[in-house]
Each structure stands twice: as C-alpha cells, then as structure tokens.
Structure 1
Amino acid sequence: MKRFRQAVEASDIEALVQSLSPDVVFHSPVRFHAFEGRETVGTVLRAVMRVFKDFHYTNELHGGGETALVFRAKVGTLELEGIDLLTADPSTDLVTHLTVFVRPLSAAQALAAAVGKELGLTS
C-alpha cells in the first residue's frame, strides 16, 4: 500500500500504475461492473487523476488485511470525500483489489461525468 499512496501523493501516475497487480480488480464508485487488469485500470486512474483537484489523504486505517485511505478532493467546484479501500499481495505490495467510495451524490455524479468525458465516453 505504501507504493500506491506515495505514487498518488506525488501525482506520479506511472508509479501508481506500477503499484497495481497485473490482474488488479477496480470497483468504481460510479460503475456497477469492475474494471480488470493493470492496463485498463491504469487508463481509468489516469483520467481520475486529471479530474481530481486538491486531492489529499486525511487518514489511513488498517484492518482485516485491508487498508482504507480516506481522502478529500474537488471535482470542478464540488468538494467530495472518499475512501480508497485496498488489498495488496503481502509478498509484492502490489494492489490486487481497489474499491473507491465517494460522497456526496452530487460530487459522485460530477465525477462520473468528468471521467466519462476524459475517457471519451461522453461529449
């Protein structure tokens, strides 16, 4: 988890992608089906990093083999709170599962629209 957090805090997207397991599973806060694989998840996280402004972690919690990184950020003018819930392979420290939760709903909707636009899914 340390590699993941350091990469995010440094805004180093390539280091972030390399902190992911090749078969990582990512559960987005705005899509029912998971994204799978380092390349696919990397594409989504690149878009998210372009959308988030003033991103910073506020807390780190551990339990049950998972780490929760609590964060705050902005999407446009909307402030949001969220959690990156991570599971990593203890032998490699590569993230195998990432689930992101965000609130409030208005910010989650703005995030979905902005990331969709970054990925060319909406106009």
Structure 2
Amino acid sequence: MKRFREAVEASDIEALVQTLSPDIVFHSPVRFHGFEGRETVGTVLRAVMRVFEDFHYTGELHDGNDTALVFRARVGKLELEGIDLGTVDPSTGLVKHLTVFVRPLSAAQALAAAVGKELGLTS
C-alpha cells in the first residue's frame, strides 16, 4: 500500500490506478456490492479524488499483507474520517482488495451524492 498512499498523496490518479491489480475488488462505503476490475475501480477513484477536499492521511496500521490507511477529508462543508483498508498481492505488489469506511453518516451520504453526480448517476 506504500505506492498506493504515495500516489494518493501526490494527487496522481494515473499512478494510483497503476497500483491496482487488474482484478481488484473495491468495496465503497455507499454500495453493498463491490466494483471489480482496474478500469472500473479507476473510474470510481477518479470521481472520489475530484470530490474530496483537504484529503490527508493521519495514520497507518499493518498486519501482514493488509494495511489500514486512516484519513480525513471534506466533502463540501462536511468533514469526514475514514479508512482505506487494502490487501496487496505479495506476488505482484499490486492492491488486490480495497475497502473504504467513512464516518459520520451525513458525510457518507454527501460523498455518495457527490460521487454519483461526478459519475453521471444523479443530477
């Protein structure tokens, strides 16, 4: 997750997408079913990076191939806290699984609406 974090902190979405396994599964905080595949997940993460403001990591925890990256950001006027929980495939060094948790609920709802708008899913 080191390369993933560095790409996020550099706001380099293309470098970020290259850290993802071609068969990545991404579970967002606002949808039950995961997004699958580098292209699809890349599209979602591009939208998220356009929506988040003042994004910064505040902590990092490791357990084997799993890493939790703790962050803070804003969506509009709402502040949020979250965790990027990622699993790296040791044979490729690429992120194979990513789950994002966000709190509070009001910020998660604002994030869902803003990302939906970015993706053209809502008006």
TM-score by length of 2: 0.98
Per-residue displacement from partner, 1:41-61 (whole Å, max 9, x unpaired)? 000000000000000000000
**Contact 1:24-1:36 within 8 A present in 2 as well:** yes
1:97 aligns to 2:97 (yes or no): yes
Worse-superposed segment, 63-72 or 5-14: 63-72
Write the mapping of 1:20-35 to structure 2, written as runs, cut at 5 A.
20-35=20-35
Equivalent residues of 2:65, 2:90 under 8 A apart = no
| 1:75 match | 75
Aligned pair count reads 123
Q: What amino acid is aligned across from residue 99 of structure 1 in structure 2?
A: T
Q: Give the alignment's Cα RMSD to 1 decimal.
A: 0.6
- Tell me the equivalent position of 2:47: 47
Q: What TM-score results when the alignment is normalised by the length of structure 1?
A: 0.98
1:92 Cα deviation from its structure 2 partner: 2.0
| Structure 1 segments (4+ residues) deviating >2 Å | none
SS in 2 for 1:6: helix
Residue 52 of structure 2 aligns with an amino acid whose one-letter code is: F
SS at match of 1:55: strand
Give the unaligned 5+ runs of structure 2: none
